[in-house]
Structure 1
Amino acid sequence: MEPSLLAQLKRTWSGKRVLITGIGLQGGGAGAVRFFSEMGANVALTDLRPKRFFREIVNTYRIAQTRFGGHDRRDFLSADLIIRNPGMRANDPLLVLARRNGTPVRTEAAFIFDVLGRNRIIGITGTKGKSTTAALLHHVLRLRYRTELLGSPGTSGFTFLLSRRRPQWLVYELSNFMLEDLETSPHYALITNFLDDHRDRYNGGTRAYWKVKERIFAYQRAGDKIFLNREDAHSEHLADNIPSERLRWFGSRTVTEARAPLGSLSIGAVFALSRALGLDATAVTKRIRTFRGLEGRMQFIGAFGGVRFINDTAATNPAATAFSIAQICAHYLINPSRLIVIAGGADKRLDISTLARALAPARHRILLPGTATEKLVKILSRRQLSSTRVLSMNRAVWAAVKWACRGDIVLLSPGAASFGLFQNEFDRGRAFVRAAKRFGKAPRQR
């Protein structure tokens, strides 16, 4: 970022009280603490979890006040700015109170848009495939442009602001949380798809969840572009109300010899955006072949004794698991009967029958504990489909290894949330990777 802009931000926030609501587990909250500390703000941190989770960050940065184990309304009323992190909903009564008091409430994304503007931002959202699409687009655009990737797990927009880098394009993965109270739209916006998810977060169910996704283009202006998936039914419906000069379509596209089992829609989306930004199709194809994929998203871990292990822990809803199974079978040219799938977990009030249908053709179904699993077992039993229930990831992988034979794929694709047994979905995925490397050396041969 321009040194002059950073100096201006320092003048703006030096001595001001900035309340950060939660640290989270993916780096965003820690990035906010670091940024506002370096801006000279009086940083206050409030989180529902106990203090033991935050010893490192409290000892690393200058924090004026901390409150752990609960929130206090006085903190929200005395702040000059509130940075909202994912654990706190936009309509939380304390945030409503703060807004009524005239205090601005911003997510990381909203703050970035405020500071940098919208004209050089490419925003990407969708139920499935947004992380891979964003990372793949970033990888491809670097052929021609200085590009930064924001919004993916482990990255922080606030850390980027401190970096003094000056990209030509920002590729921003925008989750529903980021879009909930965003009141501007990126110059280029793309929605991978609309699937059933997050009923546990939105009282209006799936339609309310989709409505938040639509905010990515709700504030676009003349000259902006929205890229929609021609194979998605809800996207087709949305197109009726979008001016034709702003609308662009993409569809499935494959690239042979790709290193990672990339979704064909992610490839199609990246082709459409890259071509719109002037990149040559042949160069784009070559560049896609060099992409290694992302952690937890159809991530190839290794092959042991002729058996592949794939970590798809980011499939946290039934439709995502169905999508991944189809993509993996197409990439590796196998029948679903060669899959041993580890699935199940915590319920998100979604249609579990979708997960049961996705798992039906698999050779074996190994189920982790959770409320979604309880529902899934009943549906599988009614369809006379067997399953094996386990209490831990180690036991799940050990069972998979016992049944696997050369040419099979052991796939973690839960179709459910991770809370209860793991810190988050990435903790779940890393447990799978550790177990695969530990137990995967000698699968049973047939």
Structure 2
Amino acid sequence: MQGKNILIIGFTKRTSFHFARVIGKSNTVIVSDSVKDKEKEKLLGELVKEGISVVNLLGEQSTGILDRFKIDIVVVSPGVPLNIPLIIEAKKRNIKVTGDIELFYNFFPGNFYIGITGTDGKTTTTTLIYEIVRKEKEAYIGGNIGIPIFKLFDEINEKSILVLELSSFQLEAIEKFKPYISVFLNLAEDHLDRYSSMKEYLLAKKRIFMNQTSKDFAVVNFDSPYYEEITEGIRPKILRFSRIDKKADAYFDGENIYISGKFFMKRKDIFIKGIHNVENSMAAILASKAAGISDESIIKTLIEFKGVEHRLEFVREINGVEFYNDSKSTTVNSLEKALLSFEKPLILIAGGRDKGLDFTKLRDLAAKKLKYLILIGEAKEKMKRELAFEKTFEASSLEEAVKKSYQLAEPGDVVLLSPGCTSFDMFSNYEERGKVFKDCVSELI
């Protein structure tokens, strides 16, 4: 690809910056974003210093851009909806509209790809599969996990295995991308501020299978209420994991994991907490075995793997009170899984920006599991109403919530940050929210 005018819609360091750095060496990059701020200006400045040909259209996202410039390709960042007027008009004019995953695949179509999607557990499972595979083969990790795929551009070769976390937003933009192994972990309410229905959300996720053939593999949660819809019409060989059906390719009986009906390993030997992480582990086992990795390497990694930051991450214990950071919890489903992971009395800190989710589903579980509930952020009134938990407190900041939780806690209690909401009302991302939580806990000492 040379001498083209590439329009990037949506510009951040975690997505399009690295793409622009690679593509801009031989093309002109036109950057459009609805937001114009110092951080984005700084990133563009870095590109200019590197000799990249850049046109700065920060703060502009009108269809007039297509009249002012002869655009050859439009590259959409994952967070940008495909129904904004600029993208709709580009499609009307038969301008190619794509995403970073698809373009990267066009450069490296012959590589071995493992793609992981689902509502919850993607980052943990992606990281786990990567850690397993890299024990025996050259592997790289990227995608929605926070490592932009184009950051890997100069590192990989034709033999590299790429383990990619894929969001529904990224899958919307694929055309030819084909993983050899796809993993669909689960499906629950999420992003209903973007999708008009669960069916539309499911269809976006299901695109991970669209180019696979009978020679490929699809690892799917057999216990999902959407299992039939997820697997209907797909071509790859299906590998099922389950906590219910012994006939599944991977089965957990409450104590042990079985693969193809044979004992594989004990649950107690897997380091990471939570029943959801048993499911993630079974998915990782099936994907890794399909990739040709030995049982020895798989089991060794599951014993050693300490989990991922901001996912049920143990922070510290202070005077008999344990603090856990689950800032990545941005859905009702992930909050439910977090609550089910503990037997000790729980003081839950939750809240943030709502995505149109229904928290009434957790009302009974909250009554059973919680000792106190502390709510923060824009969704606190809605969550207070829908959870209807008697011992609920509100806080104006995460700092205040942490201090309140410690005041309420007694030795043997667990303080859990598991928001069930996005972070964008108070923080730039869930990582910042998790870091602030850990800093606040440290200040209690």
Q: 1:444 — aligned with what?
A: none
Give the superposition deviation at 1:129. 0.6
Letter of the structure 2 residue corresponding to residue 351 of structure 1: D
- Tell whether 2:35 aligns with 1:49: yes
Contact kept? 2:63, 2:85, Cα under 8 Å: no
* Residue in structure 1 matched with residue 328 of structure 2 by the alignment: 314
Q: 1:320-352 CA deviation, whole Å, 9 max, x = no partner?
A: 1001222x32xxxx24xx111111122211112
Shift of 1:437: 1.4
Higher mean C-alpha displacement, 129-138 vs 53-62 = 53-62
User: Which residue of structure 1 lines up, in the alignment, with residue 352 of structure 2?
Assistant: 345
SS at match of 1:162: coil
Does structure 1 retain, via aligned residues, the 8 Å contact 2:352–2:423? yes
Q: Do residues 288 (structure 1) and 274 (structure 2) align?
A: no
* 2:154 counterpart SS class: helix
| Alpha carbons 1:126, 1:194 under 8 Å: kept | yes
Partner of residue 260, structure 2: none
| Aligned mate of 2:5, from 17, 27, 40 | 17
What is the aligned counterpart of 1:261 among 260, 273, 277?
A: 273
| 3-state secondary structure, aligned to 2:317 | strand
Question: Partners of 1:19 and 1:127 in 2: how far apart?
Answer: 30
Give the direction of change, closer, same or farther, for the CA distance of 1:260–1:238 in structure 2 (3 Å limit).
closer
For the 8 Å contact 1:17–1:44, the answer to whether it is kept is: yes
How far is the alpha carbon of 1:153 from its aligned partner? 3.5
Contact 1:321/1:358 (<8 A) preserved: no
Runs of 5+ unmatched residues, structure 2: 243-251, 258-265
- Report the Cα offset of residue 415 of structure 1: 1.0
Q: 1:103 to 1:294 in 2, by over 3 A?
A: same
- Do the aligned partners of residues 432 and 98 (structure 1) sit closer, same or farther apart at CA in structure 2, a change above 3 Å counting? same
Q: Residue 223 of structure 1 aligns to a residue in which SS?
A: coil
Distance 1:414 1:339, change over 3 A: same
Report the more deviating stretch, 313-322 or 251-260.
251-260
> What amino acid sits opposite 1:365 in the alignment?
L
Checking the alignment, whether the CA contact within 8 Å between 1:124 and 1:130 is kept in structure 2 is yes
Query: Which residue of structure 1 aligns with residue 195 of structure 2?
Result: 202
Q: Which runs of 5+ in 1 are unaligned?
A: 1-11, 442-446
Q: Match of 1:71?
A: 61
Q: Corresponding residue for 2:21?
A: 34
CA distance in 1, matches of 2:320, 2:144: 32
Q: CA deviation at 1:307?
A: 2.3
Q: Which residue of 1 aligns with 2:261?
A: none
Corresponding residue number in structure 1 for 2:85 = 93
**Deviation for aligned residue 1:16:** 2.1
Decide which of 319, 322, 343 is 1:305's aligned counterpart: 319
> What displacement does 1:269 show?
0.5
SS of equivalent residue, structure 2 residue 348: strand
Q: In the aligned structure 1, how far is the partner of 2:319 from the partner of 2:20?
A: 46
184-193 or 157-166: which moved more?
Answer: 157-166
Deviations 1:398-428 (A, max 9, x none): 1111122223221111111222222222222
Quote the offset at 1:237 in angstroms: 4.5
Residues 1:61 and 2:47 are matched in the alignment: yes
Tell me the residue number matched to 2:237: 246
Distance (Å, rounded) in 2 between the aligned partners of 1:405 and 1:280 = 46
Q: For the residues of structure 1 that align with 2:110 and 2:410, how far apart are their CA atoms?
A: 52
**Pairing partner for 1:233 from 215, 225, 239:** 225
Would the alpha carbon gap of residues 187 and 153 (structure 1) be closer, same or farther in structure 2, given more than 3 Å must change? closer
Percent identical among aligned pairs is 27
Change (3 A) 1:83 1:394: same
Structure 1 residue 48 displacement after superposition:
1.2
Structure 1 residue 389: Cα displacement: 0.3
Cross-structure match for 2:100: 108
Asked whether the equivalents of residues 7 and 31 of structure 2 are also in contact (C-alpha less than 8 Å), the reply is: yes
Question: Which is richer in helix?
Answer: 1
Deviates more, 1:76-85 or 1:186-195: 76-85
CA RMSD of superposed structures (Å): 2.1
What do the CA deviations read for 1:38-94 (whole angstroms, capped 9, x no partner)? Answer: x23222211111232323212211252112223132434522222211232122221
Deviations 1:228-277 (A, max 9, x none): 1112121144445445x711112354642444326111101011112222
Distance in structure 1 (CA, Å) of the matches to 2:233 and 2:98? 29
| C-alpha displacement of 1:166 | 5.1
Partner secondary structure for residue 287 of structure 2? helix
Partner Cα distance (1:298, 1:364) in 2: 18
**SS of residue in 1 equivalent to 2:95:** coil
TM-score (norm 2): 0.87
The secondary structure found in structure 2 opposite 1:214 is: helix
Do the aligned residues in 2 keep the contact of 1:138 with 1:171 (CA within 8 Å)?
Answer: yes
CA contact (8 A) 2:366 2:387 kept: no
Q: What TM-score, normalized to structure 1?
A: 0.87
- Greater fraction of residues in strand: 2
- Which runs of structure 2 are paired with 1:431-446 in the superposition (5 Å)? 431-439=436-444, 441=445
Instruction: Name the structure 1 match of 2:406.
Output: 401
Give the match for residue 435 of structure 2: 430
Secondary structure of the equivalent of 1:200?
coil
> Does the 8 Å contact 1:149/1:171 carry over to 2?
yes
Give the distance between the partners of 2:112 and 2:45, measured in 1 at CA: 36
Determine helix, strand or coil for the equivalent of 1:132: helix
Match among 162, 167, 175 for residue 175 of structure 1: 167
Compared CA separation, residues 166 and 221, structure 1 to 2 (3 A): closer
Decide whether aligned partners of structure 1 residues 357 and 119 sit closer, same or farther in structure 2, where only a CA change above 3 A counts: farther
Which of 62, 72, 85 does residue 80 from structure 1 map onto? 72
